[in-house]
Structure 1
């Protein structure tokens, strides 16, 4: 299937100050079953790496990483179904396993074969399902502050969670807040709540021992939304996985510490030992 594209180059802009509009990217869209997925692409490497964003986000969340990664890889950055430009029409928002199946089909189409996958938060949860259930489409796996482990949902725990995540500083770099807010407003509160319900109802623990791929867990040291303890538990359950903690970073370490993040991902994808 031919992919419509707009040729372009990435301008040389220092990593921490890159904005989405500073990037010139080839853009594509494809229908996967009942869903239409939009994605951006750049780079000409032989291997592809897909970047999956988190809840209420969009492909724009990777603006500070695309230039660094595309120096060696063909980078594919989708808007996950229900978010960004991949808005829902008549079809309902699929649950986590169903959405992972849609993304697995998308990845085979967009990459033309197996690719590396980097998933953040909800995107990490989806990546776990893809790796355990559709492993043939993945080479190496990077889970960034990944969701998927259950947590108590009693009123006391929910209240504490809301208290911890509400302050703006818990989300890291304040210059990124307008992007986060804009994407959340574009997705709409009902869509975000439906996705959150799917996330909280899903438990990836039975899948973790079945992940056969080399796996790196990257975690923000100060993440109060998905705490480091979740990363440590995933490391114990995923065979041969390693964990790297990015000091001073919050829930979005690819935004808070883009240079360290890019260096770690590139080293891991090249086969080097990263983390512990």
Structure 2
């Protein structure tokens, strides 16, 4: 999902790589920063190609930003077989190994927020801080509006720009004026890639391991999100010991786009805060 872009400067373009990892060819993007701060590993939303994450690379110029198209998404070829969340996390770890990243901060949005939780549990020693946007604990969640969820389950929003623009506000809860800008950045996923992303999280929940996550965690939720209601942020905040919750007032599911001027400084401030922060005893932001 895009994070908002200011057109008044030259874009900071990523280096594109096409490694074959574990038999799966991937398209990887790395926005190289100054190297003064820990890199960010970014997990995108379901069906979302890495172009939608480009403004993150422009915003966080003091650190590298690494992301990749999941198999069958964007320009990564479709996988042969279904996969589970732990296998997707392992794939991300192998991407980091491929390019020499030992420790990262992790950011995930929506489906990618669940993947960020899985990665933080599975490779906790390689994660510094965790940022979760518009996401939930998986199967144990407060569901979104049925009309929005029915549209989310089908990739038509990526395949038919007119359909996306017609249903944008009902689906995401965001300003419909954003629809056209969002649509032009989309590359349609393959049917198999989209289905396998859905299957990867079937029956998955992070509830058993969230109380054991040691990482300082920033949870960001929009109070107008039709897909992942705000209540899910409170669930995550209750379960993750060192966490704090930031509520985007008036924000829908795409608040990283619609409220970029507000939310990017919040993330930067969180990342710059000393890691001694103990969220359990601190007030929500």
TM over 0.5: yes
For residues 110-169 of structure 1, the C-alpha deviation after alignment (integer angstroms, 9 at most, x for no partner) is 352101111111111111111111112211110111244226899xx8568438999311
Asked if the contact 1:28–1:39 (Cα under 8 Å) also holds between the matched residues in 2, the reply is yes
RMSD, aligned α-carbons: 3.2
1:193 to 180, 192, 195: 195
Separation (CA, whole Å) in 2 of partners of 1:179 and 1:146: 23
Gaps of 5+ in 2: 154-163, 278-282
Asked if the contact 2:83–2:199 (Cα under 8 Å) also holds between the matched residues in 1, the reply is no
Normalised TM-score (structure 2): 0.78
Asked if the contact 2:50–2:67 (Cα under 8 Å) also holds between the matched residues in 1, the reply is yes
Separation (CA, whole Å) in 1 of partners of 2:39 and 2:123: 17
- Pair 1:178–1:84, CA change in 2 (3 A): farther
Separation (CA, whole Å) in 1 of partners of 2:77 and 2:137: 23
Asked if the contact 2:142–2:231 (Cα under 8 Å) also holds between the matched residues in 1, the reply is no
1:25 Cα offset (Å): 2.0
Q: Does 1:60 align with 2:51?
A: yes
Q: Does 1:139 align with 2:128?
A: yes
Aligned length: 258
- Pair 1:152–1:15, CA change in 2 (3 A): closer
**Alignment-derived partner of residue 109 in structure 2:** 120
Matched residue SS, 1:233: helix
Normalised TM-score (structure 1): 0.81
Asked if the contact 1:82–1:93 (Cα under 8 Å) also holds between the matched residues in 2, the reply is no
Q: Does 1:73 align with 2:75?
A: no
Asked if the contact 2:136–2:233 (Cα under 8 Å) also holds between the matched residues in 1, the reply is no
Separation (CA, whole Å) in 1 of partners of 2:253 and 2:242: 24
Matched residue SS, 2:60: helix
Q: Which moved more, 1:118-127 or 1:104-113?
A: 104-113
